[in-house]
Structure 1
Amino acid sequence: MEIKKIKELIELLSDTDITEFELNEGDDSVKISKHNPNATVIASAPMVAPQAVAPAPVASAPVAEAAPAAAPAEASLGRTINSPMVGTFYAAPSPDADDFVKVGQKVKVGDAVCIVEAMKMFNKIEADAEGIIKQILVADGEPVEFDQPLFEIE
């Protein structure tokens, strides 16, 4: 493979978000990788902090105190409809459409209550219990975690 062609590939890739590229032509092959110093810093920072906090005996005391404080908040919720995945919560099928459900609305098992977008896929979330929507626990467009309560129903 000619050096000129390799230089052209490097120039083309430098203007993109691609971090790694491999090209095979017959017996010739080239692998080009970009180093992103910001990604390295981000990846290494979380690994250092938990190691320093975990062995400290003081850290276990606040954790023990925080657990009972969180339990009453969860206990105050009745039945909930939880997110089956990590993603972004949307209350309506499109920005100009009405919300799937409103506080005070009755839902049956299988009724669509919201959408959670995960990896550019829009997943319709259905009620897994019958009841009346007592509270919507997540704001539209807010990120949600796996098993996070989205709605409280009674």
Structure 2
Amino acid sequence: MNFKELRELVAAIDQTDIAELTLKNTEFELTLRKPSALQPDVVLSAAHAVPTVPSAPIAAPAAVVSTPTEPVAQSTPTIDPSLVEITAPMVGTFYRSPAPDEPAFVEVGDRIQSGQTVCIIEAMKLMNELEAEVSGEVVAVLVENAEPIEFGQPLMRVKPVK
């Protein structure tokens, strides 16, 4: 399945009431889910000839409760709620430029337009251009070039144009 066929499949599923579709063969497994508040839009994973085994229900782990004797400092930095995060739509390798000897698509401080390519994600030997969904100023690039990324991982933060 090539990228064009994948896009056509996603568009076709979007026009139906199908909530989830899984395609499997010996080379890959593809699961498409319609967006909701807690689910990803598209989940893409590769498996090389891995036999499938029926899964049994898994019991949820028991909650561990501990009462600290001293207050614990929060290590998570506060993120400006006005910023928009550009997140990874798939698992793959993040590339800031179209080729190693070319400049990055965007740098911190650059103004970007909706639809502008901001990076490339390599997944299953395909180079997928990621386009910005908002116009604004890039305030942070959160991933290093050629770094592996996970689905939903924040890649950049953009201050939208008002």
The TM-score range, normalised by the shorter chain, is 0.5 to 0.7
Q: RMSD of aligned C-alpha atoms?
A: 3.2
* Partner of residue 134, structure 2: 129
Structure 1 pair 80–96 and aligned structure 2 pair: CA distance change class (3 A):
same
Q: In structure 1, what is the Cα distance between the partners aligned to 2:64 and 2:137? A: 45
* Partner of residue 55, structure 1: 62
TM-score (norm 1): 0.55
* Partner of residue 140, structure 1: 145
Q: In structure 1, what is the Cα distance between the partners aligned to 2:136 and 2:79? A: 18
Classify the secondary structure of the residue corresponding to 1:103. coil
Structure 1 pair 73–133 and aligned structure 2 pair: CA distance change class (3 A):
same
Q: Match for 1:121: what amino acid?
A: L
Identity of aligned residues (%): 41
Structure 1 pair 107–61 and aligned structure 2 pair: CA distance change class (3 A):
farther
Greater radius of gyration (CA): 1
Measured against aligned partners, the alpha-carbon deviations of 1:43-69 in whole angstroms (never above 9, x if no partner) come to xxxxxxxx8x933635x889xxx9x95
Structure 1 pair 121–69 and aligned structure 2 pair: CA distance change class (3 A):
farther
Q: Which consecutive unaligned segments of at least 5 residues does structure 1 have? A: 1-50
Measured against aligned partners, the alpha-carbon deviations of 1:56-102 in whole angstroms (never above 9, x if no partner) come to 635x889xxx9x957x5464462111111111000000111110001
TM-score (norm 2): 0.52
Which is helix-richer, 1 or 2?
Answer: 1
